[in-house]
Every structure is written in C-alpha cells, then in structure tokens.
Amino acid sequence: MTDTTDLRQRIADAIRDAACKGDCGQPEEECARQRIQPFAWHHGRLAVVEGAPEQFADAVLAVLPTADRAAVYREAADELATAFGDPMAKHIGILGASYLRRRAREIEAQPAGPATDDEARL
C-alpha cells in the first residue's frame, strides 16, 4: 500500500469516525450542526455522509501527519522570504518567514498525534 493510498484510507476512516453513531443524545438539528451525518450504508459500512465542509476539514486535519503541516509552513516561509522586492516589504517578509519556520519547528517538536483505530489494531 502506497503512502498516498494509506493516507487516503485514514482520511476516509476519520470522516466515517466523525459521523454521528446515533448515540450522541442530542436533538437531530443540534447534532447536524456539530457533526457529520451518516446518510447511507453499504454492506454494513457507512458509505455516504453529509455535513458542512468545515466538519470534513476538521476530521481530515486530525489525521494529517504533523510533518506535512510543518512542510507547508516551511514552503510558505520560503515563498514569503523571496516574495517582495521593495526593501521594507522584503524585511517584513523575512520576519514573517522566520515566524513560520519557528512554527514548523514547534509542530515537529510536538509528540505524534493519537493513533487511529486502524493503527491501534495493528
């Protein structure tokens, strides 16, 4: 299984896991405001869900490897450091890049995120 295939499956599992299991105890409207909703099952497996884009984004962010987020910060820092020609703007860009690189180091210094259910079963 390639890294991309593995990540794709982890993201899909995270979205499934974020869907209400029907036992949240909240009224339907309140639950739908807070959670991805199950919509259809195929052979006993949740196959179709619905929800706000932000709910999916939150579910996906929870499983993205932290190293990838640090890489995104570094890429942004590299671009910011060279984005401006004007000396004053360039100075501010370099300060911003320095901040982004510090955030990348802080992210990498954090312990790894919680294992997914699949990882825990391995």
Minimum distance from residue 111 beta carbon to Zn ion (Å): 30
Nearer residue to Zn ion within complex by CB, 33 or 105: 33
Cα distance between residue 44 and residue 38, in whole Å: 12
- Min CB(113)–Zn ion separation in Å: 24
Q: Where does this chain touch Zn ion (CB under 5 A) — which range of 17-25, 46-54, 75-83, 98-106?
A: 17-25
Tell me how far, at minimum, the Cβ of 20 lies from Zn ion, in Å: 3
**55, two tokens:** 């709910």
Q: How many C-beta neighbours within 10 Å does residue 26 have?
A: 13
Nearer to Zn ion, 30 or 75 (CB): 30
Q: Which of 12, 18, 20, 94 binds Zn ion (CB under 5 A)?
A: 20
Measured between alpha carbons, how far is 117 from 114 in angstroms, rounded to an integer?
Answer: 9
Of 49, 25, 52, 29, residue with least CA distance to 38? 49
Residue tagged 């671009």 (tokens): 79
Cβ proximity to Zn ion, 24 vs 52, nearer residue: 24
In angstroms, the CA 12 to CA 8 distance is 6
Contact at 8 Å (CB) between 118 and 13? yes
Residues 22-81 that bind Zn ion (CB under 5 A): 24, 31
CB of 61 to Zn ion, least distance (A): 21
Q: Cβ closer to Zn ion: 48 or 115? A: 48
Binding site for Zn ion (CB under 5 A): 20, 24, 31
